[in-house]
Amino acid sequence: MTARHLPSTITMQCFEAAARHMSFTRAADELSITQSAISKQVAQLEAYLQHKLFRRVRRTLVLTPEGALYLTEVRKILARIEMSANAIMSYSGQGEVLRVACLPTFGARWLARQLPDFLNANPHIDLSVSDHVEPFDLDQAGIDVAVFHGHGRWPKLECHKLFDEEVVVVGAPDYLARRQSTSAADLAECRLLHLSTRPDAWHRWFADQGITTERSYHGTRFETFQMLIRTAMNGGGLALVPRFFVDTELAEGRLSLAWPHVLKGPDAYYLVHPEHLGELVRVRRFVTHVLTCAEVDAPAGASR
């Protein structure tokens, strides 16, 4: 597909603004063009896509299902264009930008405290840090370095093990006091909180103790451990989480262990980067720094 067959950036901007305001008039005011220009751009886009993006219901503009789906993709595209432009505008010969992607809760609870020393030691390197909950194509996303959780074997990536994890079951003290579980199997009757990217985690925790239950896949799912932990702290159920994510909450009594069993799996946390970026100075310096931190600041019970 060549450039002349693609919708233009202004066309996507017109569509996004119209969808956000649900008004061609307000979209036109925002973009400083006429209402008829917005209408023409949207009509051309609908003709290209061969789908209606808007319809009117009692004089109100609403998105069609196709329009809602396309809006999600357009916003990603426009955000990526803006990020790329900002990166170039902020670039100078005296500095570099290192683009880092990280698992959200791992970033907040471990990586963030390792960054100040790196920034102080490398004042010419600026970091651009984003969240990703699953492994992805770093080259396609324009990311230099990322933290993944998994088996440590991803195509075309150089993988450096940081540490493994111990997974424990926690809940709010009041929640646990109301249930008085006398065996690990009793926990299956509680509300189980799941991480959406680890759908079999509870099944593996029970199976590791020789327990079979149909309820191991039932419960509420969250995209991040951070949300899962906060829900457990507020009495929403039991959370199966890496222990180092909740060390502070356990020490302060805001969470308690629901059962002493610790699950140790084959997966671990890895710092990864595309193989072809391995000799890039900013990448080498970041990898060296984070690996050193993993040696001296590894979570209790974790091994490398």
| Per-residue model confidence (pLDDT) at position 95 | 58
Question: b vs e for 7-24, b when ≥16 Cβ sit within 10 Å of the residue's Cβ?
Answer: beeebbbbbbbbbebebb
For residue 120, what are the CA distances in angstroms to 117, 148, 181?
5, 25, 49
Residue 221: what are its φ and ψ, rounded to 5°? -115, 140
pLDDT of residue 85: 82
CA 262 to chain centre: 25
pLDDT of residue 93: 46
Q: Are 143 and 100 in contact (CB under 8 A)?
A: yes
Amino acid 4: pLDDT: 58
CA distance 43 to 45: 5
Task: For residues 285 and 117, give the distance between their C-alpha atoms in angstroms, rounded to a whole number.
Answer: 12
Query: Helices then strands (H, E): number in the chain?
Result: 12, 12
Rounded CA separation 103/244 (Å): 14
Q: Which helix (H) or strand (E) holds 156?
A: none
Q: What is the pLDDT along the chain (304 residues), one digit of tens a residue?
A: 445 578 999 999 999 999 999 999 999 999 999 999 999 999 999 999 999 999 998 888 999 999 999 999 999 999 989 878 876 776 554 458 899 999 999 999 999 999 999 999 999 999 999 999 999 999 989 899 999 999 999 999 999 999 999 999 999 999 999 988 899 999 999 999 999 999 999 999 999 999 999 999 999 999 999 999 999 999 999 999 999 999 999 999 999 999 999 999 889 999 999 999 999 999 999 999 999 999 988 776 566 6
What's the CA gap between 261 and 209, in Å, rounded? Answer: 8
Q: Which of 256, 233, 244, 248 is nearest to 167 (CA)?
A: 244
d(CA 134, CA 38): 37
Contact between residue 192 and residue 232 where contact means Cβ atoms under 8 Å apart: no
Q: Is 57 left (phi over 0), alpha (psi -120 to 50) or beta?
A: beta
The pLDDT, as a whole number, for residue 1 is 41
Question: Most distant CA pair in the chain: distance in Å?
Answer: 70
pLDDT at 6: 86
The model carries a pTM of 0.71
Q: Secondary structure of the chain: what % helix, strand, coil (to 5)? A: 50, 20, 30
**Cα 229–234–235 angle (5° rounding)?**
100
> What is the DSSP code string of 21-69?
HT-HHHHHHHHTS-HHHHHHHHHHHHHHHTS--EEEETTEEEE-HHHHH
Residue 136, classified by CB atoms within 10 Å of its CB into exposed (0-12), middle (13-18) or buried (19+), is: middle
